[in-house]
Structure 1
Amino acid sequence: MSPLNSIFFRNGTVVHPDYFFISGFAGIPYITYYYVFTCFVYAVTVLGNTFVMFMIYTDHCLHSPKYIAVFNLALCDLCGSTACIPQFIDTLLFKSQLISFEACLTNLYFVFFFIALQSFTLTVLSYDRCVAICFPLRYNEIVTSKLVLVIIAILWIFAGMAIFIGVIFINTLSFCKSNVIHSYFCDHGPTFRLACNDNTPSMVINWSHPLVILWFPVLFITGTYICIGRALMRIAAASERLKAMKTCTSHLILVSVFYLPICITEAMGPSMHHNTRIINMSLTTILPPVLNPIIYTLKTEEFRESIKKLYRRKKIHVTVRNK
């Protein structure tokens, strides 16, 4: 059978290819080392985010609104990496570059779904820090665990519906041109542009999704940090100002690592060379999930104290058992 079912519409029906060909990192030198790096990063990502979720779940001192959001971020990082990295390692490292149409849409859905949730969760964390610094005396009244859980549930539903609409429009397209996707996964833009019928709805989705998933969160986070900066200027004591600033450093690092590569990619749009786009997008997929648990473990005092308590309990347990 031909790689494409047909180059014509069949009685007005939609024509889908049997498979797509993922071009991946073709033409990029020394890319094998990148694969090895990716395998290592994925292993650390799984261990690190699982550890973060375990610590938050088991330590009641971490059952706070902030760490509910951190737990959600770790879960999204773990699931997002699992949706993308094993697939592109299998596709590219083992030269299995063919992916069925249905598997491609599934891959597209879950990769973008968890990218959207990562972005939204970073926004929730910025709101948490803004309230904690601007309204410290009312923080427990304004930001409650119930409120954060409700917000996260709404964001899961919203992200799921938004990405599903994009997948539905891809499913209505007919593909009678090339079936080569110039990306390392079933990326939305390179996929819908292969269609031979009207892809205007997918073009609208391709324009509106970054606006909702990327630029609105960036503007919101920028606004919260403007408010935080103004609040910090009103703190007279330099030591108190520095202490308040330290509570934001972890989040600022995560925001920079997550948004910079994807903002550059979206800002340049189709003018960016596809190999450059692939590298930038892969960094967005690979780096934030592995850095998030490391940053929160090393730079968050509550988390360090929780690890120390776990270590002391383990040490006491071993001592008692040896006696």
Structure 2
Amino acid sequence: FRPMGGANESSVSEFLLLGLSRQPQQQRLLFVLFLSMYLATVLGNLLIVLAIGTDSRLHTPMYFFLSNLSFVDVCFSSTTVPKMLANHALGSQAISYSGCLTQMYFLFIFMDMDNFLLAVMAYDRFVAVCHPLHYTARMTRQLCVLLVTGSWIVANADMLLHTLLMARLSFCGDNAIPHFFCDVTALLKLSCSDTRLNEAMILFEAGPIMIIPFLCILVSYILIAWAVWKVPSTRGRWKAFSTCGSHLAVVSLFYGTIIAVYFSPSSSHSAENDITSVVMFAVVTPMLNPFIYSLRNKDMRCALGKVMAMGFLSPQ
């Protein structure tokens, strides 16, 4: 990616990621904290993928989508946290221009994929609760693969468009990004070009890509709640809702933090609040997903126990 500014403009060749703190003692503490969270994210999510892949009882649509979500969460964290840790270890804040756009491209692809997969999982729960007799006929393997493949295609097309639009901008003067990664809004603020086209595309194209899946999730859970309410026994209601509880917790955490960063009024923003919200959806949420799904799910706990037992009992 190369900036396409005028000949009389000095182009920025790299950006500075200011990170989370400039205090040395806080930086050391944050390094240990983020390294621990990253290792927990990678280990937890890869264990879920391995458990689902090796346990034939978990070869169902719900767990197929969960394994894809876990893989995406590993990639999501890996686009930002390793670079931040490397910068701290090397005593540097720099990221190259091409590296910044590449990080932005992959970061928001995986954010889109989280968004799409949560919507697909909500639809899966809707069919399971509201149309249990038709679940197997509706949620076929071909449909599941098509939904995931289509999500990857749309996510890549979306971010390719925004990355190409960003690559046409010029950056001159200030190159400090007040985040630990290359955020779209921060880059637009630093550009010395006309960013109206970029902002229009975010509003009319990227906005619906986030909002439509969220509305699908909302409608799915309204219909699920209505169906559960009509279940005569309290035990039946609890059993029906418990199949959705883990997913609902992840949805609330993911969308709550994204809305706080990207869809709340700019007057309510502060640097500290924005960074906290970004850390929540980019680092904390991918780390918590394995715990949320495994702690509330007996089948997942059994499968994870078998995987861990195999690891301990395997010959050294």
* Alignment TM-score, normalising by the size of structure 1: 0.89
User: Deviation string for 1:121-149 (max 9, x for gaps)?
Assistant: 11111111111000011111111122111
Aligned 8 A contact 2:73 2:110 in 1: yes
Aligned 8 A contact 1:76 1:117 in 2: yes
User: Deviation string for 1:92-113 (max 9, x for gaps)?
Assistant: 4643111110000011111111
Point out where structure 1 has 5 or more consecutive residues left out of the alignment: none
Classify 1:269/1:100 alpha carbon distance in 2 versus 1 (closer, same or farther; 3 Å). Answer: farther
Aligned to 2:213: 217
Q: Counterpart of 2:15 in 1: which secondary structure?
A: strand
Aligned to 2:76: 80
Q: What is the deviation of 1:269?
A: 4.6
Q: Does 1:301 align with 2:301?
A: no
Q: Does 1:154 align with 2:150?
A: yes
Q: What is the deviation of 1:312?
A: 7.5
Q: How does 1:213-292 map to 2 (within 5 A)?
A: 213-271=209-267, 272-292=269-289
- Counterpart of 2:279, as a letter, is S
User: Deviation string for 1:63-112 (max 9, x for gaps)?
Assistant: 11111100110000011111111112223464311111000001111111
- Counterpart of 2:144, as a letter, is V
Q: Counterpart of 1:193 in 2: which secondary structure?
A: helix
User: Which segment drifts farther, 173-182 or 117-126?
Assistant: 173-182
Aligned 8 A contact 1:83 1:111 in 2: yes
| Whole-angstrom distance in 1 between the partners of 2:311 and 2:14 | 52
Aligned 8 A contact 2:158 2:206 in 1: no
Q: Does 1:145 align with 2:138?
A: no
Aligned 8 A contact 2:47 2:304 in 1: no
| Whole-angstrom distance in 1 between the partners of 2:55 and 2:195 | 50
- Counterpart of 1:51, as a letter, is L
CA RMSD of aligned residues (A): 2.5
| Whole-angstrom distance in 2 between the partners of 1:161 and 1:93 | 35
Aligned to 1:20: 15
User: Deviation string for 1:14-56 (max 9, x for gaps)?
Assistant: 9641111112224689454333211101011111111111111
- Counterpart of 2:18, as a letter, is S
Q: Counterpart of 2:16 in 1: which secondary structure?
A: strand
| Whole-angstrom distance in 1 between the partners of 2:309 and 2:83 | 40
Q: How does 1:43-82 map to 2 (within 5 A)?
A: 43-82=39-78
Q: Counterpart of 2:275 in 1: which secondary structure?
A: helix
Aligned 8 A contact 2:45 2:74 in 1: yes
| Whole-angstrom distance in 2 between the partners of 1:171 and 1:112 | 16
| Whole-angstrom distance in 2 between the partners of 1:269 and 1:24 | 23
- Counterpart of 1:274, as a letter, is A
Q: 1:167 aligns with which of 152, 163, 166?
A: 163
User: Deviation string for 1:189-240 (max 9, x for gaps)?
Assistant: 1102212121112112332455234322221111111000110111111111
Larger Rg: 1
Point out where structure 2 has 5 or more consecutive residues left out of the alignment: none
Aligned 8 A contact 2:38 2:283 in 1: yes
| Whole-angstrom distance in 1 between the partners of 2:209 and 2:93 | 29
Aligned to 2:181: 185
User: Which segment drifts farther, 83-92 or 123-132?
Assistant: 83-92
Classify 1:31/1:208 alpha carbon distance in 2 versus 1 (closer, same or farther; 3 Å). Answer: farther
Percent of aligned pairs sharing the same letter: 31
- Tell me how many residue pairs correspond in the alignment: 311
Q: 1:90 aligns with which of 86, 103, 126?
A: 86
Aligned 8 A contact 1:210 1:266 in 2: no
Aligned 8 A contact 1:20 1:100 in 2: yes
Aligned to 2:99: 103
Aligned 8 A contact 1:45 1:290 in 2: yes
| Whole-angstrom distance in 2 between the partners of 1:141 and 1:57 | 22
